[in-house]
Amino acid sequence: MKLHPGILKVPLFLFVASAVGLPQDSGRLSDVNAHAWYMYFGDHSFTDKSPWGLHFDGQVRRQGIGQKWQQLLLRPGINYNFTENLQVSSGYAFIKSHPYGDSSAPFTTPEHRLWQQIIVKHKAGHVGLIHRYRVEQRFVGIKVADDNGQGRLDRYDYRNRFRYFLKGVIPVARDTQGRNKYYVGLYNEFMLNFGAGLRNNIFDQNRAYAALGFRLPRLGNLEIGYLQQTVQQGSGRVIEYNHTFQVGFFSNAPFRRVDD
């Protein structure tokens, strides 16, 4: 197997990923956890000629390698592709978060989101780059203690968040048609809170990721990797450092091919 020369061109963002947006230590507490996320990402055009399509990602996030729930995330949406390299999307997300670690919320809580995003793709040499700009309007459920110990939903807090994601896809080997057979996927994403009612720090979290990717003919891509997630909790006093094993399946097969 011949290694593709692009494997040597690692994007600069990897070397600074862990520093982007990290808050300075000022007496904050640290909480270290281990998680596993199992994920599906689908972007399916209505036909292979249509600019319109459906987005859906579903993520089962577990504590450890799967012992207990950490989070369930379901995120449907609508895509419009202006070109092969420019896509806009909008949709809804439901998130159910469970207690984990030593300092998370004590109750299972719901969250509803609206989201809008722009994805731009281009190449830097042999490395494919993906930029994603996402804005979220979050309705986060807040529970208070009740007599049965399960917590009672008291209200929803409204929050705004901006996310910037940069991913590099570095070819390792290509097939006879020039498509990536194996590749290295690297990304960093930071998230910032903004808007009226912002009570604590602007920084929300940072995610730095590295994975080995495989193309599955006629199905999509499979990535197996590691995510370092740094989260500043809402109080501003606790910083989480979450070591996360990830398995992700990515598909962009159209619902119907025009020539079928």
Question: For each of the chain's 260 residues, which pLDDT tens digit applies?
Answer: 444 444 334 444 444 444 444 555 557 789 999 999 999 999 999 998 999 999 999 999 999 988 899 999 999 999 999 999 999 999 999 999 999 887 777 889 999 999 999 999 999 999 999 999 999 999 999 998 887 777 889 999 999 999 999 999 999 988 777 778 899 999 999 999 998 767 667 999 999 999 999 999 888 999 999 999 999 987 778 899 999 999 999 999 998 877 65
**Which pLDDT value is given to residue 205?**
96
What phi and psi, each to the nearest 5 degrees, are found at residue 196? -60, 145
Domains along the sequence of the chain with CATH: 5-22+40-233+243-251 (2.40.160)
**Structure confidence at residue 136 (pLDDT):** 98
Tokens (6 digits) for 257: 């091919």
CA-based end-to-end distance of the chain: 35
The residues near 230 (Cβ < 8 Å, ≥ 6 apart) are: 18, 22, 205, 206, 207, 239, 240, 241, 242
Q: Considering the entire predicted model, what is its pTM?
A: 0.88
Residue ranges in the chain assigned as alpha helix (H): 13-16
- Given this model, what pLDDT does residue 147 score? 77
Cα dist from 186 to 14, 69, 157, 209, 245, whole Å:
7, 26, 33, 6, 14
Residue 15's pLDDT is 41
Query: What is the Cα–Cα distance from 190 to 133, expressed in whole angstroms?
Result: 10
In degrees and rounded to multiples of 5, residue 19 shows phi and psi of: -100, -15
